[in-house]
Chains A and B, each alone.
Chain A
Amino acid sequence: MTLLSRLQAELAPDQLITDRQRLRTYECDGLSHYRVVPALVVLPRTAAQVAAVVRACAEERVPFVARGSGTGLSGGALPHADGVLIVTSQLRDILEVRPADERAVVQPGVINLQVTQAATPHGYYYAPDPSSQQICSIGGNVAENSGGAHCLKYGFTTNHVTGLQVVTPDGDLVRLGGATPDTPGYDLLGAFVGSEGTLGVATEVTVKLTRLPETVRTLLAAFTGTDQAGAATSAIIAAGVVPAAIEMMDALSIEAAESAVSCGYPAGAGAVLIVELDGPAAEVAAQFDEVSRLCAENGAFETRVAADDTERQLIWRGRKSAFAAVGRISPDYIVQDGVIPRTALPTVLRRINEVAAEHGVRVANVFHAGDGNLHPLVLFDDDVPGEAERAETVSGAILDLCIEHGGSITGEHGVGVDKARYMPRMFTDDDLDTMQLVRCAFDPDGIANPGKVFPTPRLCGERPGHHRGAHPLQEAGVAEVF
């Protein structure tokens, strides 16, 4: 019995895609310069169906890749040419909203924003809000440990997921964590969140709901340059204020946003900060005065305060449209995602501009300043010979700058297929080998999203160290390295 005939027995005809043209719909995620057409796409409707598909894959030693809404930006859901793509978009029910327990239980295909919409009538919301929250799925958020503008105060997906039902790479349905915190035993939930689909497929997610704040206030401060805006950011944090968000845009990204959505940011700004404060009204009022004062002391030449929700949306519109807007001022661009300690912001931003100038490309900076999560947009024109390569060089050099300053090669987009080669710059062989111990405990055959996260896919049991050429077992014809 082939894998396909096994799956035909488990799933309805409309849950299996084999037609080459239709398979191409799934050839990439949000990082479209990697494209692989999967061998097969399945659209399960229940956790049991996911388990059946994975069990069949395990028995046939066929790789599988899970995919939610496909908004990932590191190629984490890039299909495997010889594998099954498990699309979770049909698993889209909000199973429970329990405000009294501050929990909701949802299926992985549920859209991030829908959780907040379901909780809001009860006075709660789901705090992690990636910029793609209108379309990204909770299952994808779990896989990537997605962040967003409000991580600074509220943390990441991993801080807001208390329980998971997962299908392990051998096809078992297992619960990790639960509705309550501090489940005894190893925190496999903590290891699973952010494992980018390499430890299995989440089929049910229990999330924390957060009380809606009494007050939200948003201000926009305009500076002559990023040095001043960076200094203001540091001053706010040093003063003991933890805003809900501190976002920065530099001159080039402001220019892009203006040309796209006419957000009307102050003329002549070399950098803007968007600072959002939330919480009890009296606290927010006191902090707001403090933040305004610190921005002014650090060179803000204009400060605007959103008087109502409409004005607040306007302030955010420029920020949220910046990525797409850059497409208007450059034919092509690379979105980089690195992290630095926030005190290194002025130095690193200067270095980024120097490196960009050396290689003759432009870099627009729009990012989460509060937690040092940079999103440099490296602009280039693919039609100009050599420019794409130069942009790629600058993009890599930015990651090296992040590592050099004690940061990380990814703050929220994940490693995926895109950054696997950078992992050895941040981690030693022993560090990576230790991650493989976990991988091998879950997935000894390496069939769950192979080729992602780790630079050199290894078979379990292999000793750590530098390796050249084919894996010995592969050479001996004993096994395939995916």
Chain B
Amino acid sequence: MSALDDLAVKAGDDDVVAGVPARLVAAPATTEEAAALIAASRDLAVVIRGGGTKIHQGPPPRELDLIIDTRRLAGVVEHAAGDLITVVRAGTPMAELHGLPGQQLALDAPATATAGGTVAANASGPRRLRYGTARDLLIGITVVRPDGRITKSGGKVVKNVAGYDLGKLYTGSQGTLGLITECVFRLHPVPLFTLFVRAIAPPTHAANVLTAQSAASALEINAAPGAEPELAVLVEGTETGVRDRATALARLLNGEVTDTPPPWWDTPPWPATGDALALKLTGTLSGVPSLVSTAVEAGLTVRGSAGTGVLYAGAPVDPAATAHVVEVLRAVATVVGGHAVVLTAPPSVRGMIDMWGPVPGLDLMRRVKDRFDPDHRFAPGRFVGGI
């Protein structure tokens, strides 16, 4: 009996990835078990699934035999409070990491998303302005390679330049280079006090927040067709300091200070079901206003980090219009030095558009994929350039 025979069960009706049904599902509980499973499934096409919050984003897999579900591979292994680090298994729900005593993993992610999935998707939210993203907060990682070998990179200390920083390579690799089984994260203290500042203001006013001495932790924008655009700022720190800075910002933006975020804060601007188009748009800070206005003119709602130039846009769309909308947004994103990546699109058009768009260094990326996964078994066709 191989680990595959031991662990894999017949897939159910929900075991589908972007419309492609799987044949088998396996849920290993340890890194070693995962390694044995992957070694035993050498001729199978594999997609990895964590909490499933982003499993349908991106192009569908070219083939799919086996879903490796990480949710049994869960739990906080270590929380070294004095060192501000935590070691967690990949399937640990982010909710568990949001509740570490006195400290936080400062990554915005849905409560049901997993730590490994958040890293694999390089997901981020409003607080990336202050704390960075998974790319910046991940300091060590354990991965099972497509050939079944267990491999580590980084470690448990923040400052470390020994060897290649492979944690960066795995971050955002969408499960195409192996199975992440354990992550070591840098933590931050939970801020003593927080306030929000909300204002009806055009995206051009975001620059005023950045140049003021506001030290904002997040600077978010919300813009929708037919509505006034809004800005919202998160301020964190000591009570006196936060009150001072929030008051100054409210004056600057002609807005109001509140205890709570606006209802749209850190929520996707597209409907959860139906034929929706969802995009991630990036651009230089000075390019944010043109990205926002183009998306709104195309009928999309835009939300995201005006302080880092990483936005999300979406709307229910007519499939016939999708390709054109993507083309227009991609053109503007390119002008402002960024990218327009299609996260979800109506199933009928997914095959007709390049969801990832043009990417620099694609040839090198193919060479990296060929070395890690020579048979192209892991998430085949889901990544840039058809990787």
Report whether chain A binds chain B. yes
Which residues of A are interface residues toward B (Cβ below 8 A)?
98, 100-103, 123, 144-145, 147, 151-152, 155-156, 158-159, 168, 172, 174-191, 193-195, 211, 213-214, 234, 237-242, 279-283, 286-287, 339-343, 368, 371-373, 406-415, 419, 423, 426-428, 430-435, 437-442, 453, 464
Residue of B nearest to A156 (CB): B159
Is B310 an interface residue, CB under 8 A from the partner?
yes
List chain B residues, Cβ under 8 A from A191.
164-166, 168-169
List chain B residues, Cβ under 8 A from A340.
157
Residue among A183, A372, A411, A435 making CB contact with B163, cutoff 8 Å: A435
Is B265 an interface residue, CB under 8 A from the partner?
no
Stretch at the interface among B20-28, B221-229, B250-258, B280-288: B280-288
Q: A181-B282, A437-B368 are in contact. Are A412 and B164 (CB under 8 A)?
A: no
Across the A-B interface, the 8 shortest Cβ-Cβ residue pairs: A190-B168, A240-B189, A282-B241, A343-B82, A179-B337, A441-B367, A214-B213, A283-B241
Is B161 an interface residue, CB under 8 A from the partner?
yes
Q: List 6 A-B contacts (CB under 8 A).
A: A98-B284, A101-B287, A180-B338, A280-B215, A426-B162, A433-B149
Contact between chains at A407 and B286 (CB < 8 Å): no
What separation, in Å, do the CA atoms of A296 and B173 have in the docked complex?
A: 48
How would residues 349 to 387 of chain B score, 1 for a CB under 8 Å from any chain A CB and 0 otherwise? 000000011011111110111111000000000011100
Residue of B nearest to A461 (CB): B371
Contact between chains at B168 and A181 (CB < 8 Å): no
Residue among A103, A279, A412 making CB contact with B284, cutoff 8 Å: A103
List chain A residues, Cβ under 8 A from B159.
147, 151, 156, 339, 368, 371-373, 408, 411-412
Contact between chains at A194 and B164 (CB < 8 Å): yes
Contact between chains at B162 and A408 (CB < 8 Å): yes
How would residues 140 to 183 of chain B score, 1 for a CB under 8 Å from any chain A CB and 0 otherwise? 00010100011111011111111111111101110001000000
List chain B residues, Cβ under 8 A from A441.
364, 367-368, 370-371
What separation, in Å, do the CA atoms of A438 and B190 have in the docked complex?
A: 37
How close is B155's CB to chain A, nearest CB, in angstroms? 5
Contact between chains at B153 and A431 (CB < 8 Å): yes
Contact between chains at B161 and A411 (CB < 8 Å): yes
Contact between chains at B166 and A427 (CB < 8 Å): no
What separation, in Å, do the CA atoms of A282 and B243 have in the docked complex?
A: 10
List chain A residues, Cβ under 8 A from B362.
185
What separation, in Å, do the CA atoms of A242 and B103 have in the docked complex?
A: 13
How close is B41's CB to chain A, nearest CB, in angstroms? 19
What separation, in Å, do the CA atoms of A12 and B192 have in the docked complex?
A: 61
Residue of A nearest to B139 (CB): A408
How close is B146's CB to chain A, nearest CB, in angstroms? 11
Is B32 an interface residue, CB under 8 A from the partner?
no
Contact between chains at A182 and B280 (CB < 8 Å): yes
List chain A residues, Cβ under 8 A from B240.
282, 286
Contact between chains at A283 and B367 (CB < 8 Å): no
What separation, in Å, do the CA atoms of A433 and B147 have in the docked complex?
A: 12
